Every structure is written in C-alpha cells, then in structure tokens.
Structure 1
Amino acid sequence: MHRQIYVNLAVDDLSRSKAFFSHLGFEFEPRFTNDQGACMIVGENIYAMLLIKPFFQSFSHKPLCDASKSIEALMCLSCDSRAQVDRLVTKAVAAGGTATRQPQDYGFMYEHGFEDVDGHIWQLIHLDPDASGAAS
C-alpha cells in the first residue's frame, strides 16, 4: 500500500472553504466529509482535511494560531505548467482569496501562490527539469 498524506487545516466556515476550493477545481471525498470536516482530494494519495476549528482543536492541546496573522505552514503544490500556476491563482482571487506576492521566475522553477479564505498560504510551482539551474 502506498503511503498517503493528510494535511489538516483549521477553517472558520466549512461551506465557504469547500466553495472556495471547488471553484479552483478540487473535489471532495464524500466518505470522509461531514459537518465537521471535508476531505479535499489534492492528488493521488494526497488530501487536505478542512476541519472546523472546534473539531481541529480536539486533536491538540496547543492553541490554534490565526492563519491570517501567523504563519503555520506553507502548502506547496506542483503544477503541469506555468499557465496552470497562473490559472489557479486567478481562480483563487476570483473566489475570495488573495495573491501572496508577484510571480517568481527562477528559470528552472516558476512560483506563485495565494491565501485561501482562511489565510492558509498555498504555493504553486512549475518545475522545468530541462532548464538551467535545475538539480540533476
């Protein structure tokens, strides 16, 4: 069996967060989605669990940070092209998110990103293995 990764993110309003990510084209696994959380399918064996804050808090005794004011983690997703990176950022902004900064072009890597409606930062990258500077 292949390992799976589940990134758990605290959200204020589950319906709003699901609508935001649905607008970006993500789908949800209904078997692991209820009124306390939604299992967003990111890729094969990769999931983001969007959990309402009280439920998220039940997994730890540590206080939650406000992701709109403090950094907790950076989620980084690879994309098939620079155009796909730009398309997803455009969709995120249209759905109520914000672009984190201007796109960055490192030659071998193109990066741009957005903050979702709860303040979590999602970096989107396209790696060009044939470009100068790419690791071999």
Structure 2
Amino acid sequence: MMLFPESTFKSFTKNDIADTKQGTEVLLSIDTESKEEVDQMLEKAVQAGGTIYGEPHDQGWTYGAGFIDLDGHRWKMPKA
C-alpha cells in the first residue's frame, strides 16, 4: 500500500479528492488470524489517534472491528 499527500494523489487521478468527512469513498479491510489480533490492531489504531466506528463483535461467522484513521478512511478488521 502507498499513501500520498493529497496534492500528489490528485496529480495522479486528475479528479477531485473525496471529502472523507462528507462520505466514504472506500472501506479498507485487513484480514486477521484471531480475535486477539483484531483487538490488538484496534488498540494500536486508537493509540495512534484513530476513532472506533465498529466495536469488536462476533457476528457468528466472523469476529471483527472497525476504525477511522486520521484522514477519515474507514478500516475493517475481520478474523479470516
């Protein structure tokens, strides 16, 4: 994965950049191996300044959580 400053990204896309405070342009997903890994990654995201939008929960077929990073991107972490 590569992350770019907005000005650099805009030069690649030749398009307006989505305002993540107004809408969600993508949901990024990181598969994990265990419930413990989900919980650890969520804790690290919060320590780095992220905000939880989906508390850790068991859906029966998977366990997962979600957070919003400092740029407003939403990340989902399901147990694979």
Give the TM-score taking structure 1 as reference length.
Answer: 0.55
Q: Identity rate of aligned residues, in percent?
A: 36
RCO higher in 1 or 2 (8 Å CA, sep ≥ 6)? Answer: 2
Deviations 1:69-110 (A, max 9, x none): 310000111101001101111111111010112223111201
Aligned to 2:14, what secondary structure does the other structure show?
coil
Aligned to 1:88: 41
Which AA in structure 2 matches 1:107?
A: G
Aligned to 2:43, what secondary structure does the other structure show?
helix
Matches for 1:1-136 after TM superposition, within 5 Å: 48-127=1-80
Which AA in structure 2 matches 1:98?
A: T
Over the aligned positions, Cα root-mean-square deviation in angstroms equals: 1.2
Greater fraction strand: 1
Larger radius of gyration: 1
Aligned to 1:78, what secondary structure does the other structure show?
coil
Query: Structure 1: which 4+ aligned runs deviate by more than 6 Å?
Result: none
Give the TM-score taking structure 2 as reference length.
Answer: 0.90
Deviations 1:95-127 (A, max 9, x none): 101011222311120110111111111100103
Q: What runs of 5+ residues in structure 1 fail to find an aligned partner?
A: 1-47, 128-136
